[in-house]
Chains A and B, each alone.
Chain A
Amino acid sequence: MANKSVWSDNRFWQRSAAWVTGFAAILLIWLTFDTSGQISMGSDADLKNGVTKRVPGPTVINYKITYEMDTKRGHEVPVIGAKEKFFGRDDYSEKEAGDLLHLGKLGSQAKNCMDCHTLLGNGAYYAPDLTKAWLDPAWESTGSMQAMTGKNTKEEAMAEFLQFPSKYPTHARMMPNLGITAAEAKGLVAFLKHMSSIDTNGFPRNFGKIQGALNGK
């Protein structure tokens, strides 16, 4: 009788499965170390020295953020510009800004934001994506949302809406009242502003650039 081929040998396939799995797992772990270094949060010093981090430090709320085409990378990236007032101040310390972000991130989970909205594109699809919500034209001084809340700044308009969403209905599909306090709303807006500064490799594409496509502006 001829020797049994290795290709029909269960032990061979068992060992192959173990090797393939082990190799893939080791590669994933190695990449995880590399990625973890690149996505750790930056510091206030990074922002002051113009060091670009994929996830900037919490004091990014002291600066103006825009979303601009980077011709070298071929897509939009968040650009951190000059100082900008956030709830009347542009001198939040690392501790103060960190506390605000902490409160906002906790709030985003405690209110189940992700089960209607998407954050960084993940979550539910019942409400708009919040990845770059801070940069949404609707909240600018000429935007419909800021006008509706009667506030003079983007952050105050967003905080007002978050506290009393059903007071400002825009569509039949409304955001419910989630018992968000004034302090929590401020934290949530800081969380949104911080999230808009994260380098998401150009997602979402063309954000806020095509305002007039349907309105003929």
Chain B
Amino acid sequence: MASNHLKWESKQLATWYFTFAAIIFGAQLLFGLVAAIQYVMPGFLFEIVDFSIARILHINALVVWMVFAMIGSVYWLLPDETGIETVGIKIGKLLFWVFAAAIVVVVLVYLLVQVGPADETTIWFITEGREYIEAPRWADIGIVVVVLGFIGNLYATGMKGKPTGIVTVLMADMLAFAGIYLAGMFFTDNITVDQFWWWWVIHLWVEATWEVFVGAIAAYGLIKMIGAHRQVVEMWLWIEVAMLFGSGILGMGHHYFWIGTPEYWWEIGALFSALEPLPLVAMFIHVLYDWGKQQGAAQQRGEEASVITNKPAFTWFVLQAFGNFLGAGVWGFFHTLPQVNLYTHGTQFTSAHGHLAFFGAYATILIGMMYVAIQGSNGIKVLKHTKSSIAAAWMITGGVMGMTVSLTIAGYVDVIVTRAQMGATWAGYFDGHSGMWMTQAMDWRLIMGTVTFLGFLFLIKDFLSTGKNAVHTR
């Protein structure tokens, strides 16, 4: 993706990260489809690519493409924010190739080797077998080195150039984001201790540091795309940081209800996780408020045109504002109180929440950032929607929403039959999962997953073609 319009090397590097992220995004959806087919036809690829392998690839690809797109987003906005070229860009480019190559090796080993003997060599070279962070230990260490290099660049650039509020938040947040990963890099025979620290990684990523990250990206997007005032946006950002970390850090208690940890986590987890939706409401209001404010000011000046300079990106940013609230906030709150969670913990309900939350909070805004990069790479003043960009937004959003509703219905069956009625035994599980409501829900999930995948194809078509489209204002 060489471009004459990019005068900053940092932005060029960002496009590499976005390109790799988009490819891995495709892999995520593809293996998601394999797993969805297996729910409907259990014999599909049995003992070739089993559900466990398809799912590892589905959720690891999810984490990887998001991390790549997050790093890409930071490299993209750094020159705009700090006013200087990113320090250590050569190292940044080298690390990109190291990171990408490592990911390819990890994926091939997942796919071709799959499992290993019950000893340390498997943990080091094949899989750690811990949901989301299955990556073997060698890759863990590699990821830490690469991410530390990225953070070094971020800090050096932030301190040399202008450290805006957005950059300051990102510097603090990215350090926490990387540091937390270390909590997931050890082996213990004690499964309770294992899961206690495992949640430090998973929860403090997706319900704390990643949320703050998207807050910072949304702030950048509002300034760039609708000309929102930096001072207003950054004040909101600091309030969001206070609310997100204030609720999210101790909200971790909602994962400590049933894993062998003491009872006091019931109260702590219930209280703080019940507060977690509040900043998400605030973020949603903030985006719409700033949009209305800027458009209103433009109208007063007698300008009738939209203030938005990148329609597809802004569409995805607004989808993020609402999707984050709905998927993470509402669907999360559904089952966060211990009285409810006793029955919903570890059912399809969790899966419903996971799909809408990851999509709503993160996939949306990162797709938006890819559109921002396409606009910049092609020197476009106002990037407009195309038929493909509209089809992609509708089909991906509609598809994920459809999967979420299907999985929510499946979740109710799981909760009522498997858990409440049958007491969670082997027989109870299969009674729950062979019921008609469950199987129909899984059929719909597959249909809606296919819609999502077709939407992704429109998205890629648009990514590849919209830059040359004549509809845009140059």
Contact = CB atoms under 8 A, between A and B. Distances in A.
A3 to B, nearest CB: 17
Contacts of B114: 112
Contact of B52 (A17, A116, A119): A116
A140 to B, nearest CB: 11
A178 B424 CA distance: 24
Contact of B346 (A109, A125, A177, A181): A125
B131 A123 contact: yes
Contacts of B265: 35
Given A35-B261, A115-B51, A21 B419 contact: no
Given A10-B165, A21-B249, A105 B131 contact: no
A87 interface: no
A2 interface: no
A194 to B, nearest CB: 8
Interface in B224-266: 231, 234-235, 238-239, 241-242, 245-246, 249-250, 252, 255-266
Given A107-B118, A129-B429, A173-B42, A39 B422 contact: no
B424 A198 contact: no
A110 B123 contact: yes
Contacts of A204: 342, 419, 423-424
B360 to A, nearest CB: 20
Contact of B259 (A32, A121, A178): A121
A14 B55 CA distance: 40
Contacts, number: 268
Nearest to A188: B118
Interface residues of A, number: 94
Interface stretch (A43-51, A88-96, A149-157, A208-216): A208-216
Nearest to B272: A24
A30 to B, nearest CB: 11
A159 to B, nearest CB: 13
B123 A109 contact: yes
A54 B55 contact: no
A168 interface: no
A35 B51 CA distance: 34
A136 B246 contact: no
Interface string A10-44: 10011011001100110110011011101111000
A106 interface: yes
A127 B347 CA distance: 10
Given A110-B127, A125-B351, A21 B46 contact: no
A126 B191 contact: no
A210 B421 contact: yes
B191 A176 contact: no
DSSP majority for the B interface? helix
B425 to A, nearest CB: 5
Contact of B262 (A35, A121, A195, A211): A35
Interface in B170-223: 187-196, 198
Contacts of B255: 122
B245 A112 contact: no
Given A122-B131, A128-B426, A171-B434, A55 B419 contact: no
B426 A124 contact: no
A79 interface: no
Contact of B431 (A137, A173, A214): A214
B126 interface: yes
B117 interface: yes
Contact of A39 (B39, B52, B196): B196
A44 B169 CA distance: 49
Contacts of B245: 17, 20-21, 24-25
Contacts of B187: 106, 109
Interface in B408-431: 414, 419-431
A120 interface: yes
Interface in B86-129: 114-120, 122-123, 126-129
Contacts of B123: 106, 109-110
A114 B194 CA distance: 13
A200 interface: yes
A136 B348 contact: no
Given A41-B189, A124-B51, A110 B421 contact: no
Contact of A21 (B246, B260, B414, B434): B246
A102 B51 contact: no
B342 to A, nearest CB: 5
B133 to A, nearest CB: 11
B131 A202 contact: no
B132 to A, nearest CB: 10
A207 B260 contact: no
Contacts of B252: 28
Given A106-B118, A119-B191, A123-B346, A177 B127 contact: no
A21 B319 CA distance: 28
A202 B351 CA distance: 22
20 contacts: A16-B238, A17-B239, A28-B249, A39-B261, A103-B118, A106-B122, A122-B198, A122-B346, A128-B424, A129-B424, A137-B425, A138-B425, A139-B426, A181-B117, A187-B118, A199-B260, A201-B258, A202-B258, A207-B423, A207-B425
Interface of A: 8, 10, 13-14, 16-17, 20-21, 24-25, 27-28, 31-32, 34-36, 38-41, 54-55, 58, 98, 101-116, 118-129, 131-133, 136-139, 144-145, 166, 170-174, 176-179, 181, 184, 187-188, 191, 195, 198-211, 213-214
Given A115-B129, A171-B434, 12 more contacts: A28-B252, A32-B196, A40-B190, A107-B118, A110-B122, A110-B126, A110-B129, A201-B266, A203-B258, A204-B419, A207-B424, A207-B425
Interface of B: 35, 38-39, 42-43, 46-47, 50-53, 55-56, 114-120, 122-123, 126-131, 134, 165, 168, 187-196, 198, 231, 234-235, 238-239, 241-242, 245-246, 249-250, 252, 255-266, 268, 342-343, 345-348, 350-351, 414, 419-431, 433-434
The 5 closest A-B pairs by CB, nearest first: A109-B129, A107-B118, A203-B258, A121-B346, A13-B238
